[in-house]
Structure 1
C-alpha cells in the first residue's frame, strides 16, 4: 500500500497500542472467571500428563528392581507412600490411572471453558463492531469498501477466536511442558538433566530467529489475501459489467495474478515453517540421543567424564520418556506464531474501527422533537467532504482541501409545501437533502426543523420526523411485508396493506403467488425497479412523517410506472413538507418552489412557470427534456 493509498483508518490502526493487551483488558476482564478456569484446567491437564513417566520410572526401580531403592516421588510426602512392594505396585497403578483420568477431565474442562471464553469474546467483538459501524458517519462508508468492512466482522473476529482458543492454551501448554519436564529431570538427576537440556538454548534461539524472520512474511501474506478477497468481490459484484464488456479473460487474469501473490507469499511462510519444524525435531533428537548415549553408558560402565554418582534404570527410562515430550509442544510454536500474528493484525483493525471518532451523534443537551409540524429552513448552508477520522468532531466538518459540494444555499419550506431541487449530476442535490437527516453535518450555516437546529435535537426524533425515499432503493432479503414494515416493526398487517395501496403497490403484490409473504431476495433482486420503488414508497407511507424527502424516486422506472408512482407521491405530499430531488422535470412542475443547482450553488429559483418565463438554465433543461416544447 502506498502512502497515497493509505487512509486515515489505516493510520489509526497503526496507532493502536498493544492490541492484544487491549483485547484482554476490554473483552477478557468481564469474562476472567472462564479464562482463569480454562487456564487452571489446562495447567492441571498438562501437569497430570507428566505423572505417568515419573511413576513408571520409580516403580521400575523400587518395585520391579532389586527393591533396595526407596519408593519416592517428587512433591509426594513419604507418609502417603505404602511400604510393601505389592502395595507400591497398586499405588503406582492407581496414580497412573488417576493421572490419565485427571488429564482427560481437565482437558474437557479447559476445552469447554476456553471455547466458551473465545467464542463469547468473538460474539462481543462482532456485535460491538457492527454497532460501531452503524454509528459511524456516512463519510466512512463513502471511503471504505464493503469487503473491508465485512472482513472486520468475519475474518478478524474469527482470527481473535482462534488466538484465544488455540494459541493462548497452546502457549500455556508449551510453558508447562518445558518447565515441568525441566523440574522433574533436575529433581531426579541434575547432572543428566544438564545433558538433556543442553539443547534448550539452541531451541530458544532457533525459535526467536524464526519468529523474527517469519513476521514480515505473515504480514505480506495477509496483505496478499486481503487484495485477493477484494479482487474476487469486485469481480463477482461487477459480473454483469464483466460479461457485457466481454472482459472475462481480463478479469480472470487479474484474479490469477492476485492468487499468484497469495501463493508466493504463502510459500514464503511455508518455506520457513518447513525449515523450522524439522530443525526443532533435529535438536530434540540430538537431546534424545545425548540422553540415551550418556545415560546408557552410565548404566553399563559408570558415570562418564565429570559426572558422578549412580543412575538407576527407572530414572533413565523417565529421562527417555520426558525427552520425547519436548518435541510436540515446541513444534507448535510455528502455529502459535501464525495465530498471534493474525490476531495482532486483526485486533489492530478491530480497535482501529473502535477508535474512529463519531461526529454525527446526539449532543449531551440534545432535545427531542415533540409533534413536529415540518417547517424546514436552510440558512447559508455550505458543505465539503472531510476525512471522518481526522476531522475535529466539532459542529462542522473541516473540509480541508476537498472542493465544496454546496456553497451558501438558503431556502424555506413551510408545512404542506413542496420544494424541488434540479440540476446536473454532481450539483449537490442529494447531499443537500441528506443534511436534513444529519447523514452529514454542514461545514457552515445551519439546517433547522421547526426552528430547531438539527444538530441540537436527538437523532431518533429527527429521523422519525423525516421520511427518505432514495433513488437507490434498498430492500432486505425477506418478505414484502417485512420490507414495508421496516422501521415500523409493530405495524399491523392492515396498516401494511393500506400503505401499499397508497403507494399503488398492492395490485402487483396481490398478483404474486405468496402475496405479501413473497420473498424479495437479496437487495430485492426478484422485483423490478418500479416494484422496489413502490415498496419503498409504501414504507414511507407507513412511517407517516411530517417531512418527506424524495431523492429521484422515479429515476429507474418506465413512463407508465412513473405515472403510477407520481400519483402516489402527489397523495403522499398533500399534507406534509416535501423535498424532491428530480432529474425528470415533469415530476416537479407543481412544486411550490424549484431550486436549480450547479456546482453546489443555487443559480435559479422560482415556480415552474416563473423559471420558464425567465428563459435561464431551467428553461434550457426543460427544452432539452421536452424536445423544445
Structure 2
C-alpha cells in the first residue's frame, strides 16, 4: 500500500523504516510543528534550575533589587512552558492520529481486496481487533516516541544547565543513569514477546464473544448457557494471565528508575556536602543543581518506559503489516483483457478444486454447460461441492484443474473487474449494510439514479414496503438490516441484483427460509430476475428444480447425472432417490445444503 514493498521481515529497524517512509514522511509539516513546540518546551524546562540558582545567589549576595524579579520570571517561564506543552501535545496527536487513520485504511483495503480464503481463515472479530487493539498499541508507541524526542531534548537541556552550574557534580550523576540501559532493553524484549501473545488473546476473546452472541438462540434453545460461560471464563483467564505478565514486566521499570534516581540524588548530595564543607560551591549552585536533577527524573523515567511501549507498538505493527503484505492469489493475470461480449454462456470443463489444507478434492472432473438464458439447478447431498462450484464463477476461488469459461473466456484470463461486473449473487441470507434502503439497492450499480433504483425495487416487489418506511428510501435499515423482516431483506437483495443487470445470476436459493406469503413474492421477483439471464441455482426446493432447464446432480465434487426433471426421474438414479427420500411437497428441501 502507498508504494510500500511487501516485506515479511518483522525486525525493529525494518518496521521503523517502513513506518517512517510509508506514513510519517507524509506529515513533515505536522512533525516540524511538534518539534518546534518540543524545542521550546525543552528550553523553558532547562531554564528553571538556572533561574533558581540566580535567585538564591542574588539573595545570598544581598542584591535584593534583582532577586525580587525572580518569582515573576518563574511565573512567566511556567506560563510559556504550559503553552508549549499544550501546543506540543495537540501537534503530536494530530500527526499520530493521521498516521493511525492511514494504517487502518491500508489494513481495511488489504482485507477487502484479499482472497476470500484469507479473510475466512480468521473470525471477523479477530480481524476487527487489529483495528482496535493493535491500532491502540501503535498509537501509544508513536505518541511516546514523539514525546520521547521532547524528553531527550529536555534531558539534554537540563544536562547543559547542570554542567553550567557544576561540571563535577554533573559527572557523578552521568555515571549512574546509563547503568539502567541494559535492564531496560532486556525488559523491552520480554514485553514485545508478551505483547504479541496478549494481542492474540484479545483477538480470540473478541471472536469468541461475537460467536456466542450471534448464536444466542441456539445457546438458549439447547441450554448451553453454563457451557458458554465456562468457555468465556477460560478465555478471560488466559487474557488476564497475558495482561498480568505484561503488567508485571512494565511495573518493574518505574521502581527501578525511581531507585536509581534516589541513588543519584543521594550521591550528589554526599558529594555536594563534601564540597560545601570545603568551601568550593555556592548554595545557589547546589539548589539549582538538585532542582535540575529532580526535574530530569521525570523525562528520564519516561524514556525508560518508552522502550516498553515501543515494543508493544512494534508487535502490533508487525501483525498489521503481515496482513497488508499477505500475497493475493486471486488477481488479474498478466495481460488480462476485459470479458468479451456475450449473453452469459457458462461452461465448467473438467474442473477440479482443493481447499488449502484439505486432502480431499472439493470438486473433481466437474463438467456441465449453462447456455445463455438457461436456468441450471445444482442439486446433491450436503458437501457435494455445489457452493464451491458457484464460488468459482466470480473467482472467489480459482479452479486448481480444468477451466471455468464465461462466453468462451477462461475466467482466470479476463480482468477481475469486468468479470464480476457481469455477475450477480443472491444467497439464502440476504446481506444488508447499516445504511439506507436506497444505498443497499444502489450498491448493485454505483452511480445509479433514484429512478433506476425505484424501478429495480418495483421489479423485486420491494417498492411497496420501502415507500411505507418512515423516510422511504432514505430510511436507515440498521445493523444487518435489523428493521426489516427476512422476506423484505431478500427482496432488497433481489432489487440490488436486478439493478446490476448481470449476464449471469448465481442463486443460493433465496426462498428456503421464508414463509409462504413472502416466498410467493420473492419467487415472483426471482422469475423476473431470471428472464433472459443465465442462472446457476443451488436448489433447495422441488418447485425450483422443476422449473430449471437443466439439472446437474452432484456427488463428491462430480456431476453424476444431468438432464431435465422428467428424464432424471425416469433414469431412477441419485436424483430420483433424493426426490423420494426427501418427500417433496413443493416446499420441502431437495437437499440440506
TM-score norm. by structure 1 comes to: 0.85
Deviates more, 1:262-271 or 1:310-319: 262-271
Q: Closer, same or farther in 2 for the Cα pair 1:339/1:488, shift >3 Å?
A: same
The aligned counterpart of 2:333 is 363
C-alpha distance in 1 between matches for 2:73 and 2:43: 13
Matched-pair contact (CA < 8 Å) for 1:417–1:577: yes
Q: Deviations over 1:501-552 (max 9, x none)?
A: 3223334445555544444321123333222222211111122112211122
Q: Shift of residue 210 of structure 1?
A: 3.8
Q: Does residue 186 of the first structure (1) align with residue 156 of the second (2)?
A: no
Structure 2 match to 1:302: 278
* 2:172 alignment counterpart: 195
The corresponding residue for 1:169 is 146
Render the CA deviation track for 1:554-579: whole Å, top value 9, x for unaligned: 22223443333222222222212111
Q: Structure 2 vs 1, CA of residues 291 and 334 (structure 1 numbering), >3 Å: closer, same or farther?
A: closer
Cα distance between partner residues in 1 of 2:8 and 2:172: 50
1:323 corresponds in structure 2 to 293
Matched, 1:56 2:52: yes
Q: Considering only aligned residues, what root-mean-square deviation do their CA atoms show, in Å?
A: 2.8
- Asked whether the 8 Å contact 1:422–1:585 carries over to 2, the reply is no
Which residue of 1 is the match for residue 4 of structure 2?
A: none
Is the counterpart of residue 548 in structure 1 residue 505 in structure 2? yes
Q: Counterpart of 1:406? A: 363
Aligned residue in 2 for 1:253: 230
Contact 2:124 2:207 (C-alpha < 8 Å) held by counterparts: no
Contact 1:423 1:583 in 2 (8 A): no
- Report 1:64-103 matches (<5 A): 64-66=59-61, 96=74, 99-100=77-78, 102-103=80-81
Quick one: distance in 2 between partners of 1:339 and 1:530? 51
In structure 2, relative to structure 1, the CA distance for the partners of 1:517 and 1:216 (3 Å cut) is closer
The Cα of 1:130 is off from its aligned counterpart by 1.0
Q: Deviations over 1:249-303 (max 9, x none)?
A: 222222223222333333333344444323322221222223233323422x216
Q: 1:407 to 1:17 in 2, by over 3 A?
A: farther
1:453: which partner in 2? 410
1:143 corresponds to which of 121, 124, 139: 121
Q: For 2:61 and 2:439, how far apart are their aligned partners in 1? A: 83
**More deviation in 546-555 or 132-141?**
546-555
Name the SS of the counterpart of 2:347 in structure 1.
strand
* Aligned-pair CA distance for 1:425: 1.6
Per the alignment, residue 255 of structure 2 pairs with 278
Distance 1:412 1:302 in 2: 104
Match of 2:136 among 158, 161, 180: 158
Greater CA drift, 110-119 or 365-374: 365-374
2:15 to 9, 19, 22: 19
Matches of 1:211 and 1:437 in 2, distance apart? 47
Q: Per-residue displacement from partner, 1:10-61 (whole Å, max 9, x unpaired)?
A: x968689732332122111222332243234313311221112113313433
Deviations 1:120-178 (A, max 9, x none): 1111111111111111011112211101111122222232222212x113322332233
1:18-57 pair list within 5 angstroms: 18-57=14-53
1:242 CA displacement: 1.8
Q: Which segment is superposed worse, 191-200 or 504-513?
A: 504-513
1:602 is aligned to: 559
Residue pair 1:422, 1:594 contacting (<8 A) in 2 also: yes
2:460 pairs with 489, 503, 509, which one? 503
Deviates more, 1:533-542 or 1:262-271: 262-271
Q: Indicate how the Cα distance of structure 1 residues 272 and 543 shifts in structure 2: closer, same or farther if over 3 A, else same.
A: closer
> Cα distance 1:206–1:601, how it changes in 2: closer, same or farther (>3 A)?
closer
Q: Does the CA-based 8 Å contact 1:156-1:346 persist in structure 2? A: yes
**Alpha-carbon offset, residue 335 of structure 1:** 4.3
Measured in 2, the distance between the counterparts of 1:511 and 1:191 equals 85
Q: 1:537 aligns with which of 473, 488, 494?
A: 494
- Is 537-546 or 264-273 further displaced after alignment? 264-273
The residue aligned with 1:228 is: 205
Deviation at residue 205 of structure 1 after TM alignment: 4.2
Q: Structure 1 unaligned runs (5+)? A: 1-10, 68-83, 304-309, 387-399
User: What residue in structure 1 maps to residue 217 of structure 2?
Assistant: 240
Gaps of 5+ in 2: 1-6, 587-593
SS of 1:447's equivalent? strand
TM-score by length of 2: 0.90
Secondary structure of the residue aligned to 1:56 is helix
Change over 3 Å in CA distance of 1:239–1:267 after alignment to 2: same
| Superposition deviation, residue 416 in structure 1 | 1.5
Tell me, yes or no, if the aligned pair for 2:129 and 2:206 is still in contact at 8 Å. no
Q: Find the aligned partners of 2:11 and 2:548 in 1 and give their Cα distance.
A: 51
SS of corresponding position for 1:549: strand
- C-alpha distance in 2, partners of 1:616/1:13? 56
What is the CA-CA distance between 1:401 and the residue it aligns to? 5.4
For 2:51, what is the secondary structure of its paired residue? helix
Q: Tell me how far apart the structure 2 counterparts of residues 424 and 534 of structure 1 sit (CA, whole Å).
A: 28
